[in-house]
Structure 1
Amino acid sequence: MGGLRKLAASFVVPGPCGVAVRDRFKHLTARDERVLRAVGAHQGALASHDLKARCVDGLEHGADTWAARKRELTGLSSSRIAGAITKATHDQWALARRCQAAHIQNLEAGIKTLRHRLSLPLGEKGTKRAAGGYRSQGEWFRKSRRLAALQDRHAAAVADWQAGRVRVVRGGKRLLNTRHHLAEAELTEARWRERWEAGRSFLAADGESGKRFGNETIRVTPHGEVSIRLPAPLAHLANAKHGRYTLTATVAFAHRGVEWADRIEANRAVAYRIHLDTERGRWYLTASWQRPVVQTIALEAARARGMIGVDTNADHFAAYRLDRHGNPVGDPHRFGYDLSGTTAHRDAQIRHALTRLINWAGRVGVAAIGIEDLDFTTEATREKHGRRKRFRQLICGIPTGKLKARLVSMAAEHGLSIVAVDPAYTSLWGAQHWQKPLATPHRTMSRHDAAGIAIARRALGHPIRRRTAPPPHDRSDRAGHRTVQAAPGNRGREGTRPPTTDRPPGGPSPNGTRKREPSASNTVRDAPSTQQWVQDSLMRTG
């Protein structure tokens, strides 16, 4: 047990702090689209220049440089638009820094693995915890060259990190590189240009409490009428007072529409974003606002009505329900999804699977769902898993960050809490202690189903194993109760087995009569019994 790593404590995941809803603009006129494209292109150019200025500042950025950039943008747009652009710039720069730190961590993990494997003799076998030596001298040589390349990349990345340099492409680096491979992407230049301009467009405005309908720049009335405050250079496009343009199309938020209407009627802040889906040729409006921080319930309260343990896999969720004592209840449940295809298809598949999981949790009456606190950022490196390309793809295919965000937000709407547990050894110990005992001719237990039990038991605060070994002396429990058996106050299952009759062994019956007639005369009375009493080790009473 000395080689096992220390397990992190389970905790209740905090609830969501924001809400976003979206609706489509229907029946936009050609003039509406021209105005939206013009405003998006103008403000997108301002956002690009501001991002460049922020990247030049690097680590020397401060309140003075921020104020100077905002004053420059205010003269070309408005104060509120300038504030929205600078805030988006800071968020994008911070995201680039986090990605840069993750890239450095990934390079360090690859370098560590390569150094270890290169130091081993050729052909040396590996273990479950570490890979072995390389198979041939040629592979060793190629990996030594790769180690040098990774070290150069690591040195360059660390230098950029220390200097505060980030490399950001507004619109996306992948879409930029697609320009050189239009034939492979099956795109025309005009089609690519449309996507590029839509990705670099900026049509967003932060809300402000106290202003009319919660937003002065992009205003949406309770009846769904949308108007935009045009920047100063485009004021000639206005069709309403005070330099505003009112769109012909209206919006109506079907989801959370009542909550949105209550906010804007009370003049509370609501942020809006307008964007174009080039694949469908549709314009959308997204409304978002903050919620008060939801106080999470105590861990003991989440455990009071049992737990559902969920094991996350590349193509399904394996879930098992446990009562508060840690006993499995019913049969395993599997909620499948298909993560192939487009991003929208994958997102819809995850939402559909989570909806079915949450609905089942509501029917059985539990108060919490236990899930592993997964992060495969450093687990998918090709140096760690070598030639196991399919396994690396399997790990990369498991939804982790998006899954946790969606599950927390969707569960909060149904009054369910999410308990995150340490993922160490859940699959291994679950298969070892629960897969075989729960398998029956009518129930098929997979390794993932057993892992769901292990996750739920860890979330409930119980050890994963069902029971310890019997006492060392004899079956009378002279060495004390089993450490993972029933609690000391519930001795019903730990007591000595009562006799099968109401008389002591070998003694006469109290009423002097036999309990049953003797069997046939050809019965061999001194034959040993083939029946064995087996204690049920699956159930708990405490």
Structure 2
Amino acid sequence: MSKLPVVTYQTRLRLTPEQSASLDVYAELYGRAQRTLFAKMRAGASMNELKRSFLRRFGLTARQFNAIRVELEGKIASIRERRPELIEELQARIKRGQKAIIRLEKKAPGSNTLHQKKRRLAILQAKLASLSADQESGRVRLCFGSRRLFRRQFALEENGYADHAAWKKDWQAERSSQFFVLGSKDETSGNQSCQATVAPDGSLRLRLRLPDGTGEPSKHLVIEGVRFAYGQEAILQTLSAGRVVIAQTKTVKLVRKREGSAVSYRFVRDRKGWRVFVSVEAQPVALVTRRLAGAIGVDINPDHLALAETDRFGNLVEVRRIGLHLYGKSEEQAKARIGDACRQIARACAESGKPLVIERLDLRKRRAELEAVDPVRARSLSSFAYAKTIAMLKAASFRAGVEVIEVDPAYTSVIGAVNHARRHGIGSHQGAAYAIARRGLGLSERPSVREAVVPTRNGGHVTFALPARNRTKHVWSFWSDVRKGLKAAHAAHARSGGNRLPPAPLLPKARALGATRTLSAKPRHANRRQHCSADVVDDLPW
């Protein structure tokens, strides 16, 4: 099985009213067949018997039935794979919520905040009970058309519906708004049911096989002039990669067999019309980086990406900060900003010839934090797409020929704050990125000082003595004790009012490494909402 990633490109189709109507009928038949197949599968029917009956009942080809089956099995598999993680995540969120309620009962026993926390805890416990019951029974719940739209029928006026019939019209349209065309590498043009050919003007010509159950007079729908603003060359390269080879089978000595790359299509209808998504296997890219040159570490944070570059000996070369102000942005705006930042990082790695080192983050712990943090922090965490950033970093690095090294994130922030921040005059996040880069190179993580001087958010610092190290244990055991001392020092610093002091000037070494600061007319503590703009680089040792 190939390990190359699958990339998807999309474009909007220019269709006549007749062509659009044909796709509407196809999508309606596809959705009805998929929902029926899911009901039959839950009833325990045999797949072979279902295939024979579905081909006759819905007028499908064997390949079209396989597309419905593969998509449905993928949905079911993803739910079953995700469910244990959701249960573990809910257990962690309930535990944090219970601790928050205990603290509020002591501080504000009759507050509205305590009441809302209890309501939230009851909701989480109900979700956990439902998921646990499904896990034990093996039952899978699927809502075709999205659960959010389904719930809108219970508040018609608030969601802009005049009556239930108007909602039902949208509901039925959403349940029949797309269909999938499965590809295979041994078929012509990578797909038997939808074949793409290159027109003389360089555009693509799609020849889509319609199901017999649609009642269309023609078996095929031809769509001309399909162009992709991004990915056209990759699709053309995939279509031209197919070749005919001579293979040997058990019954026939020699047979002509076609080998190439599978090309799958998904047609999706939205408010503006129909779009087509083409999924192809990415072409292999030669690596342009090597670990002997050093590494570039990235520390992912809700509002920025911190970068630290090292040489082959693990010495710090440069630090950078790329702002990611995603709060208040739409999903597409957030994806655009994250994509720009990831391409910038991949380009820097390719130019320097150094691999990219990232953390293997546990997103369940991140989501569990939402139950115990303040509302501002919770909105920041929920607005930031950790998974999307990691996926885009890997995709951009693959296209640029950059090796991606994933490391365990244990204690990188503590190591960066204690070992590197004060020593190099950089921020704690840049120090964490530096620790990540060194871990990717397999370098030492031993403590470099006996007394920790860790910078704080306002430019000051906290100081505490490091515990004695037991060399018979792993070094992470030592950093676990250091983290406890660091938390206690930060708490004492906050109680003493140290966070309200004005920031200290930058160290000369920090300026030499590339750290900058934009001065403000007001001190930082005067307004917590005061931030630099998205284009301002802020590398203070905070």
TM over 0.5: yes
Q: Which residue of 1 aligns with 2:430?
A: 449
Tell me if 1:307 matches 2:279: no
The CA deviation at 1:183 is 5.1
How has the CA–CA distance of structure 1 residues 379 and 248 changed in structure 2, closer, same or farther, with 3 Å as cutoff? closer
Single out whichever of 265-274 and 161-170 deviates more from structure 2: 265-274
Tell me if 1:48 matches 2:35: yes
The CA deviation at 1:403 is 2.2
Q: How many aligned residue pairs are there? A: 427
Q: TM-score, normalised by structure 2?
A: 0.69
Q: Which residue of 2 aligns with 1:32?
A: 19
Unpaired stretches in structure 2, ≥5 consecutive residues: 245-257, 452-470, 472-511, 514-542
1:300-319 C-alpha deviation (Å, 9 max, x unpaired):
x9521111111111122111
Within 5 A, what are the aligned runs for 1:122-521?
134-135=106-107, 150-151=124-125, 153-181=127-155, 184-185=158-159, 193=169, 197-198=173-174, 200-223=176-199, 224-238=204-218, 243-251=219-227, 253-263=231-241, 268-279=260-271, 281-290=272-281, 302-336=290-324, 338=326, 340-366=328-354, 368-381=355-368, 385-386=371-372, 388-439=374-425, 445-464=426-445, 467-469=448-450
Unpaired stretches in structure 1, ≥5 consecutive residues: 1-13, 58-63, 124-131, 440-444, 471-482, 484-537
- Following the alignment from structure 1 to structure 2, what is the Cα–Cα distance between the partners of residues 294 and 465? 37
Q: SS of 2:366's equivalent?
A: coil
Tell me if 1:99 matches 2:82: yes
1:61-110 C-alpha deviation (Å, 9 max, x unpaired):
xxx72222222222221111101101111111112223322331123223
Q: SS of 1:219's equivalent?
A: strand
- Following the alignment from structure 1 to structure 2, what is the Cα–Cα distance between the partners of residues 173 and 192? 14
Q: SS of 2:358's equivalent?
A: strand
How has the CA–CA distance of structure 1 residues 30 and 153 changed in structure 2, closer, same or farther, with 3 Å as cutoff? closer
Larger helix percent: 2
C-alpha contact 1:175 1:196 (8 A) present in aligned 2: no
1:443-464 C-alpha deviation (Å, 9 max, x unpaired):
xx33222221121111121234
The CA deviation at 1:205 is 1.4
How has the CA–CA distance of structure 1 residues 328 and 88 changed in structure 2, closer, same or farther, with 3 Å as cutoff? same
The CA deviation at 1:391 is 2.2
- Following the alignment from structure 1 to structure 2, what is the Cα–Cα distance between the partners of residues 350 and 255? 24
How has the CA–CA distance of structure 1 residues 141 and 25 changed in structure 2, closer, same or farther, with 3 Å as cutoff? closer
C-alpha contact 1:322 1:329 (8 A) present in aligned 2: yes
C-alpha contact 2:183 2:263 (8 A) present in aligned 1: yes
The CA deviation at 1:265 is 7.0
C-alpha contact 2:156 2:167 (8 A) present in aligned 1: no
- Following the alignment from structure 2 to structure 1, what is the Cα–Cα distance between the partners of residues 74 and 285? 24
How has the CA–CA distance of structure 1 residues 151 and 185 changed in structure 2, closer, same or farther, with 3 Å as cutoff? closer
Q: Which residue of 2 aligns with 1:492?
A: none
| Structural RMSD (CA) | 3.6
The CA deviation at 1:147 is 6.1
- Following the alignment from structure 1 to structure 2, what is the Cα–Cα distance between the partners of residues 19 and 54? 30
Q: SS of 1:263's equivalent?
A: coil
Amino acid paired to 2:206:
V
C-alpha contact 2:35 2:144 (8 A) present in aligned 1: yes
How has the CA–CA distance of structure 1 residues 154 and 205 changed in structure 2, closer, same or farther, with 3 Å as cutoff? same
- Choose the corresponding residue for 1:79, options 50, 62, 84: 62
- Following the alignment from structure 1 to structure 2, what is the Cα–Cα distance between the partners of residues 69 and 269? 29
Q: SS of 2:367's equivalent?
A: coil
Amino acid paired to 2:187:
K
The CA deviation at 1:295 is 11
Larger relative contact order (Cα-Cα within 8 Å, sequence gap ≥ 6): 1
- Following the alignment from structure 1 to structure 2, what is the Cα–Cα distance between the partners of residues 226 and 149? 48
C-alpha contact 1:309 1:370 (8 A) present in aligned 2: yes
Q: Which residue of 1 aligns with 2:481?
A: none
Amino acid paired to 2:22:
V
Q: TM-score, normalised by structure 1?
A: 0.69
1:148-179 C-alpha deviation (Å, 9 max, x unpaired):
76555433322211111122111211122234
The CA deviation at 1:258 is 3.6
C-alpha contact 2:5 2:281 (8 A) present in aligned 1: yes
How has the CA–CA distance of structure 1 residues 153 and 213 changed in structure 2, closer, same or farther, with 3 Å as cutoff? closer
The CA deviation at 1:399 is 2.2
Amino acid paired to 1:227:
R
- Following the alignment from structure 2 to structure 1, what is the Cα–Cα distance between the partners of residues 16 and 167? 21
- Following the alignment from structure 2 to structure 1, what is the Cα–Cα distance between the partners of residues 216 and 121? 60
C-alpha contact 1:47 1:202 (8 A) present in aligned 2: no
Tell me if 1:110 matches 2:96: no
How has the CA–CA distance of structure 1 residues 20 and 294 changed in structure 2, closer, same or farther, with 3 Å as cutoff? same
Q: SS of 2:448's equivalent?
A: coil
1:34-61 C-alpha deviation (Å, 9 max, x unpaired):
111111111111011112223344xxxx
C-alpha contact 1:339 1:349 (8 A) present in aligned 2: no
Amino acid paired to 2:13:
F
Q: SS of 2:107's equivalent?
A: coil
Q: Which residue of 2 aligns with 1:5?
A: none
Amino acid paired to 1:154:
L
C-alpha contact 1:54 1:89 (8 A) present in aligned 2: no
C-alpha contact 1:227 1:244 (8 A) present in aligned 2: yes
- Following the alignment from structure 2 to structure 1, what is the Cα–Cα distance between the partners of residues 117 and 129? 18
Q: Percent identity?
A: 22
Q: SS of 2:405's equivalent?
A: strand
C-alpha contact 1:228 1:244 (8 A) present in aligned 2: yes
How has the CA–CA distance of structure 1 residues 134 and 462 changed in structure 2, closer, same or farther, with 3 Å as cutoff? farther
- Following the alignment from structure 1 to structure 2, what is the Cα–Cα distance between the partners of residues 294 and 164? 42
- Following the alignment from structure 1 to structure 2, what is the Cα–Cα distance between the partners of residues 432 and 212? 60
- Following the alignment from structure 2 to structure 1, what is the Cα–Cα distance between the partners of residues 170 and 407? 45
How has the CA–CA distance of structure 1 residues 81 and 316 changed in structure 2, closer, same or farther, with 3 Å as cutoff? same
C-alpha contact 1:430 1:447 (8 A) present in aligned 2: yes
The CA deviation at 1:229 is 1.2
C-alpha contact 1:21 1:255 (8 A) present in aligned 2: no
